[in-house]
Amino acid sequence: MAGGLFALGAYGIWGIAPLYFRWIDEFGALQIVAHRVLWSALLLLPLVWAVGGWSRLMAVLRNPASLGWLAISGVLIGCNWLLFIYAVVSERVLEASLGYFINPLVSLVLGMLFLGERLRPLQWLAVAIAAVGVGNEILRFGDVPWLGLTLAFSFGFYGLVRKRLGVDAFTGLTVESWLLLPLALAWLGWQALLGQGMFPSAPADLGKLFLAGPITMLPLLCFAAAANRLTLGSLGFFQYVAPSLQFVLAVWVFAEPFARTQWWTFGLIWLALGLFSFAALHEQRRLRGLRRTAGASEATADGSSR
């Protein structure tokens, strides 16, 4: 029960985050991302110490290979943040939701290409249907949904790097934020040289930008708590909450244009995700059955040896 609530909290916050970024869109995507990196870096460091993760952080900092990979993942997540905020401030939340809907299928393909994972027939079908959905968007409107695809692939490659690295979420994001911090400070310093200031002069505006730190950290805390209580398969089913909420916000709150033919695009992708989820659930049950069988065999063997 608690694990499910934490998962809903994490993906729910990610889902309604466009409301916050639309609220502060006057500052522009680059300045918002710079402040997001700044406040995340400053707030995550004491948090890692508070949860007893200092030794893990030091171990990563002493490992040049880990730092190199975290620099790559930091660039990927930084680009993902920038593109997502750009999508919000440019009134393209619908396309952003499309990207996060197809992200699980992108991760599936990346796992096959780079981790040697095998796709089952139902998973291949899901990928093919999603490709038809994206193709429908291209044929109907003559425009590649580059923003959604870039969001999906940048986050997919980010997940791939982090999975191969095996660093926990807090430690990884802390190091990534501090590696990105010089770029954020350089941008804010450049703004200051142009006479726009590193920080807003009004305390209320500075408070708005400061919230980017907690909004980055809070869902991460919830996600970590959920991951400790739920299986990976169970946690995966919650990942559709965020793009679903973004879809609702885009169509019914922000009133972004949504043509009737786009129902075909999203309908095909939702069908693909349904097949993907069914295949994941079937595999989860199969593995549980194998574990039960193996456990029963070990118990029988142990009893026979006595």
- Distance from C-alpha of 178 to C-alpha of 227, rounded to nearest angstrom: 24
Task: Tell me what pLDDT residue 261 has.
Answer: 81
Q: Is the pLDDT of residue 262 over 60?
A: yes
For residue 299, what pLDDT band results from cuts at 50, 70 and 90?
A: low
| Helices 262-305 and 121-141, axial angle in degrees (round to 10) | 170
Q: Is the pLDDT of residue 80 over 90?
A: yes
Q: Is the pLDDT of residue 306 over 60?
A: no
- Distance from C-alpha of 286 to C-alpha of 291, rounded to nearest angstrom: 9
* Token pair belonging to 60: 């990563």
The candidate with the shortest Cα–Cα distance to 72, out of 158, 150, 183, is: 158
* Token pair belonging to 160: 């791939």
* Token pair belonging to 197: 């200031």
276: containing domain: 2-305
State pLDDT tens for residues 87-138: 999 999 999 999 999 998 998 899 899 988 888 888 899 999 999 998 988 8
Residue tagged 């009134």 (tokens): 91
Instruction: Give the other-Cβ count within 10 Å of 299's Cβ.
Output: 10
* Token pair belonging to 34: 């710079």
Q: What value does the mean pLDDT of the chain take? A: 89
- Distance from C-alpha of 199 to C-alpha of 217, rounded to nearest angstrom: 21
| Domain tally, the chain | 1
Contact 241, 11 (CB under 8 A): yes
Whether the model pTM is above 0.85: yes
- Distance from C-alpha of 147 to C-alpha of 260, rounded to nearest angstrom: 21
- Distance from C-alpha of 107 to C-alpha of 122, rounded to nearest angstrom: 15
